[in-house]
Amino acid sequence: MSQRRTLGVLVAAQIAGSIGIGASVSVGAVLAADLSGSAAWSGSASTMSTLGAALWALPLARVAAARGRRLALSLGWAVSLLGAVLVIAAAMARSFPLTLPAMLLMGAGNAANLQSRFAATDLAEPRHRGRSLALVVWSSTIGAVAGPNLTRPGASVAEFLGIPPLAGPFVFSAVAAAVATVVLFVALRPDPLASNGSRGRNLRIGWEVVKSSPQARFGVATVAFSHTVMVSLMAMTPVHMQEHGATLTIVGLTISLHIAGMYALSPVMGWISDRWGRVRTALTGQAILVLAVLLAAVSGDSMTVVTIALIVLGTGWSMSTVAGSTLVADSVELARRPAVQGVSDLLMSLTGAIGAALSGVVLTLITYTGLSLAAGLLVLPVIVFSLTVPARQNQGLDQPR
């Protein structure tokens, strides 16, 4: 019953919070380009948001280890709320420099979003960890798909409030973060970590486990590099589409379909991961990511092909992330899990931030085609790490603890 209640609260918070994240994704790059006056800075919004998720990953994991998931997750969304308010202020002041720390704060919401999937595994039975984790990932679908399509309603809200049109979607982000904060702080009782007595472990243990466990290393590598492939390409797609005449409505629809690919099939990915094995599922996800970047590379002026590529990209991310994250949860006993998960989220967000930071420059230098192919090369490290996993896991026979 505790697990069912925990999942219900996490799902409700994910739906609300993901609306805010989705609302900012499709306009963040455009707002950065508008305020800075250069497309080369368009990736800075995604960079700072992803970097913020990296910077907040360990502090929130430390709070979770010491005080439980409830405080950690609600704190993350509260900081994200502050960031959304500052983005609106930056747009009103036409201040690009203010946008950067504001997006850094919004990254705390991304960190809370990521840690929620691990919270779903705290009380789950080992054979159902993939399914529980995937359910929380899937719950982001509703908000994440709806969010990017709030660009036009956001402009209407902005007109009503007397703020710049591109700031409108961030009003939705602020409200959504506030709702997620309240839901988690009030309703996530009993706290899943308090219930199983795993609080209070030193986060340095996380690094030790990752270094010593081939399964943990492969899981962390899968999550981090897959996320970097996705972020690098997704962050620059709105800019590429606008350069080829796409409207904000079309851009929002494309991002919505991409996010649907990321989240909608998550329960299926969880079931496959539980049944087929984490390693096989993760490597299949890598193959799908390769297909996505190849489609993007040959898309040319076709917005239809770009949209298909983004859907495939989201699907590959989903399969890789669900399998990799579940393998991370499997690789260590419950008491040490928050520490290992904090390390995983840190590396995931940090590598994603680096990818987003470089994507704008790469787009300017070697076009969208070059960016797509460069992102695809990041699949190679995952394949290398898979070779270090014991044969039993590579054969797909890995059984969760």
Inter-CA distances, 93 with 98, 102, 163, 173, 397, Å: 9, 13, 10, 19, 57
**pLDDT for res 330:** 83
Q: Which of 1-5, 55-59, 337-341, 353-357 has the highest mean pLDDT?
A: 55-59
Q: Which of 20-24, 59-63, 195-199, 394-398 has the highest mean pLDDT?
A: 59-63
Categorize the per-residue pLDDT at 392 as very low, low, confident or very high, splitting at 50, 70 and 90: low
225-247 pLDDT, tens digit per residue, is: 999 999 899 888 888 888 887 77
**pLDDT of 351 above 90:** no
335 CB neighbour count, 10 Å cutoff:
16
CB 330 within 8 A of CB 277: no
90 CB neighbour count, 10 Å cutoff:
23
**pLDDT for res 400:** 42
**pLDDT for res 401:** 45
Q: What's 163's DSSP letter?
A: S
User: Rounded to an integer, what distance in angstroms lies between the CA atom of residue 73 and that of residue 69?
Assistant: 6
321-343 pLDDT, tens digit per residue, is: 999 999 888 887 766 777 788 88
**pLDDT for res 183:** 96
Rounded to the nearest angstrom, the gap between the alpha carbon of residue 204 and the centroid of all alpha carbons in its chain is: 24
**Residue linked to tokens 């994603």:** 352
Inter-CA distances, 261 with 16, 133, 140, 315, Å: 19, 17, 11, 5
96-153 pLDDT, tens digit per residue, is: 999 999 999 999 998 898 888 888 887 777 677 888 888 888 887 777 667 767 778 8
User: Rounded to an integer, what distance in angstroms lies between the CA atom of residue 23 and that of residue 27?
Assistant: 8
Average pLDDT over residues 362-374: 90
**pLDDT for res 399:** 46
**pLDDT for res 195:** 57
Average pLDDT over residues 174-183: 95
Average pLDDT over residues 299-312: 90
User: Rounded to an integer, what distance in angstroms lies between the CA atom of residue 89 and that of residue 81?
Assistant: 13
**pLDDT of 366 above 80:** yes
Q: Which of 24-33, 76-85, 104-113, 152-161 has the highest mean pLDDT?
A: 76-85
254 vs 196, which has greater pLDDT?
Answer: 254
| Closest of 120, 34, 5 to residue 73, by C-alpha | 120
**pLDDT for res 84:** 95
Share of the chain above pLDDT 90, in %: 37
35-56 pLDDT, tens digit per residue, is: 888 877 777 887 788 788 888 8
153-172 pLDDT, tens digit per residue, is: 888 999 999 999 999 999 99
Helices assigned H by DSSP within 213-302: 214-243, 248-263, 266-276, 278-297
**pLDDT for res 223:** 94
**pLDDT for res 397:** 40
Share of the chain above pLDDT 70, in %: 92
**pLDDT of 199 above 70:** no
Categorize the per-residue pLDDT at 26 as very low, low, confident or very high, splitting at 50, 70 and 90: low
Average pLDDT score over the chain:
85
248-299 pLDDT, tens digit per residue, is: 778 878 887 888 788 888 889 998 988 888 899 999 999 999 999 999 999 8
